[in-house]
Amino acid sequence: MEEDEQELTPETAVPPTTEAEVKTRRPFSWESISVLLLLLILVMAGYFRFTGLTWGEGNFLHPDEFFLMDVASRLRPADGFLEYLRTSESPL
């Protein structure tokens, strides 16, 4: 067998890489790009999360939550079962 030919064993169907092949790799990898993209997304999410925190104007509820709490506080139970079934008279 010649020196240039490498024998492939059943365990490894790909010949081992040489030092020259290792040095010709690209300066970036998809793994590093995906990590940078993930960090960028997290930084942007943090920015959008913590900007505009004064929307409650002293209230700790979001405006939609404040509306729901206002509506829920105005509900009162029906006086009787028949009043509950009559939708024109029901307070719900």
* Cα angle: 58, vertex 63, 67; to 5 degrees: 115
pLDDT at res. 76: 82
Residue in the block written with tokens 């940078």: 36
| pTM for the whole structure | 0.37
Instruction: Write out the two tokens for 70.
Output: 């206002």
When computed from its CA atoms, the radius of gyration of the chain, rounded to whole angstroms, is 34
- Render pLDDT for 6-61 as a digit per residue (tens, 0 to 9): 555 556 666 666 665 556 666 778 899 999 999 999 999 999 888 876 766 666 77
